[in-house]
Structures are given as structure tokens and as C-alpha cells.
Amino acid sequence: MHRYRFLLTGKWIGAFLLCVVFSIICVQLAGWQMGRKEAVDHRNQLIAQNFHADPIDYTEHRGIFSNFDGELQWQPVKLSGEYHPDQQILARNRPYNGNNGFEVLVPFTTDEGDNILISRGWVPAGFGDASSTATEIGAPPSGHTTVVARYHNGEQDTGRDAPAGQIASIDLPELSEMTGIPVGEAAYGLLVSEDPEVPNTPIEKDEPEQDNGPNLSYSMQWYSFAVLIYVVYGWSARQKVRNDELDAQLAAELDQYYQQFYDENGNYIGEEDEEIIIRKMQMVDDMPSHLKSIMRPKPQKKKKFRTDEEEEDALLDSLGQ
């Protein structure tokens, strides 16, 4: 394991800490996506459970439109009372089946004296004129009416302006101000039926699609990233050990190869011109620095003056010739 001692250096410890931080962030993002998936699953469960359920009697659940009960989302509620047709408001920019249109909003006062906003349905926008309807909107029933409407939470104020008689979002407090009728500010009703019936009733929207969404796959991806970062760290460490082993092997081979050109005293003894050997050794700029010292041994400096022993040897050599 001494080959992995470099993992205890500051550089590799810092890299490991970055991996830890990255994995923690990934786990947090995975949890966030999983939370969104659970919210979508809960929404789908409420649609499946409540959308086609039998209506509950409002007299037994008074106050639900003022204090929102999330478990009743999409639940049909039966109410009795009267509409206020003169206070009808259109919620603009409501796409449905690929067309733009409006939701028709009318305040409704129950027999118990509670004011509730009812969305009577959807009407298409006029062709080329997004501020008007394409068809005439039939008036709600006059007099005493029995209404079945699905329970739905109100919307947030978008801050956008709208023409007179229209509203940008179903913001219940704003609708109370516009109509002068203090409707419940937590929820409103989506019309299912009216008794008595009237002609030209706006279109009732279909059951919402129960789409699971991509959140589960996104969550799994983030969990995978949290694990893979350690795989990458381990792979990088293994690659460094492998490269170090290859460097050491190459260094030994080069050392053995260039030893043939120099004797024990560093004198050049090769048959080829030493300058050629030196140029070959200089063609290693891309190699690690610890190999360059092997590939580029310092050539012996030529002496300007020979020693007495060298002079004597030279004289003997000349006499021997």
C-alpha cells in the first residue's frame, strides 16, 4: 500500500474533501427531487381518490373555503344558494386543449350566508382578440340554485394587469375587492353541475392528467453522481499509481540504455557522434521532469588544460608511434 501514500498529501486530501462536498450537494438535490416526486404522487392520489367521488354536503363542512383542507382537493361539494351574475369576472390566459380562453368566475352565496367563488367553466378567446370571448356566455341560473363544484385551492397574485371585467389569476382576496363580495379566500369551486340547468354553460374541463413526471429519474441521477464522484476519485488514484509504475519502468530502461554511451567516470564511449546522442536525449520535452534528468545527462566538460599525467601519457603515446 506504500504506492498509495500520495493520498495523504495535501493535494489529494483536498480533492477528497471536494468529493465529499460534491456528494453532499448531490444527495441534497436528490432529496429535493424526491420531495417533488412525493408531491406529484400525492396530487395524483387526490385526483384518483376525489375527482369522481360522491359529493359531500357543504352544510357538514362549513369553513373549508376559508381554511384550505388539502385532503379535499378535487372533492365535489354540494351547495345551495344563489349566484351573483352581475359580478361575473373572467380569468384570462387559460389554455385548454391547445386553445387560449377564459374561466368564467361568479360569486355564489349559500343558504348559510357564506360567499364562495364558483368557476362555471371555460370559454375560448375570440379569434385574433385575446381580450374577448369567442361565444356569448350564458348567464347562470337565477334564483335558488343547487350547485355541485369541485374543491380547489386559490392562486397567487401574479402582479399582472388585466382589462376591466377580467383578472390575471384567481387570486381570491383580489376578487373579493373587485366584486365587493367577500368570498372565501382559501379555495373556490369548479362547476360540475347546476340545478336548474341553463343553456350555453361554459365547458367543464376534463380530469387532470396523472403524470408522474421526471422527478424520480432526476433523483436517481443525483444519487448516482454522489457515488460516481468517489469512483472517479479512486480511478484517478489508480491511474496515478499505474503511471508511476510505467514511469519507473521507463526510467530504468532509459537508464540502462544510456549507460552504454558513458563509462563509470562519465566519459563518452559511444561510436556515434556524442552530439547526435545529446540531440536524441533532448527530444523528451513532453516527458515528466524526473525522466528528463535521465534522458539528459550532463556531458563532460572539455578541459582547457591537460594535467601533467595527461601530458606524460600523450608524450609516451607519441614516442610509441
pLDDT at 299: 46
What is the C-alpha end-to-end distance of the chain, expressed in Å?
64
pLDDT at 314: 66
- Tens digit of each residue's pLDDT (9 = 90 or more) over 187-210: 999 999 999 999 889 999 999 888
pLDDT at 135: 74
- Whose cell is 363580495? That residue is 181
Instruction: Give the whole-angstrom CA distance, residue 291 versus residue 294.
Output: 5
Give the torsion sign (CA, 118, 123, 126, 127). Answer: positive
Give the torsion sign (CA, 68, 69, 73, 79). Answer: negative
How far apart, in Å, are the Cα atoms of 268 and each of 189, 276, 313? Answer: 100, 12, 19
Instruction: Give the whole-angstrom CA distance, residue 179 versus residue 87.
Output: 6
What is the chain's alpha carbon radius of gyration, rounded to the nearest angstrom? 43
Tell me the domain boundaries of the chain.
1-51, 53-195, 232-299
82: which residues sit within 8 A by CB, 6+ positions away?
A: 108, 109, 143, 144, 145
pLDDT at 21: 97
Q: Which amino acid is at 265?
A: N
Q: Which segments of the chain have a pLDDT < 50?
A: 285, 295-299
pLDDT at 13: 95
> Are 229 and 23 a contacting pair, CB within 8 Å?
yes
pLDDT at 146: 96
Instruction: Give the whole-angstrom CA distance, residue 53 versus residue 47.
Output: 10
Whole-model pTM: value is 0.67
Q: Which amino acid is at 316?
A: L
Instruction: Give the whole-angstrom CA distance, residue 254 versus residue 247.
Output: 10
Q: Which three cell numbers stand for residue 133?
A: 370571448
Instruction: Give the whole-angstrom CA distance, residue 199 versus residue 140.
Output: 9
